[in-house]
Amino acid sequence: MIEVESLRKTFGKIIALDDISFHVDDGELLGIIGPNGAGKTTAIRIIACILHPDGGGG
C-alpha cells in the first residue's frame, strides 16, 4: 500500500507539489498523468526516498 498525505515540495520560490494526497491499496494500479512541470517526477522521487518533502509524507 502507498499512502501520501498533504505532500509539499518547493524548489526556491517554485512550488512543485502543493498539498497532494492519495492512497493505493495492495493490488491496485496507479497512473500519474499531467503536463510537463506538474510534479509527477517529483512525487515519485519523494515516494522512492530520493528527495525529501518540505511537508506532509506517506
Percent over 70 (pLDDT), the chain? 97
pLDDT at 57 over 90: no
**pTM (predicted TM-score):** 0.85
The boundaries of the domain holding residue 31 are: 2-57
Tally of domains within the chain: 1
Neighbouring-strand partners of residue 14:
11
Please give the pLDDT value at position 58.
60
Pairwise CA distance, residues 45 & 26, whole Å: 20
- Span 18-26, average pLDDT: 95
Q: DSSP letters of 6-54?
A: EEEEEETTEEEEEEEEEEE-TT--------TTSSHHHHHHHHTTSS--S
pLDDT tens profile 27-54: 999 999 999 999 999 999 999 999 999 9
Phi, psi (deg, nearest 5) at residue 51: -115, 160
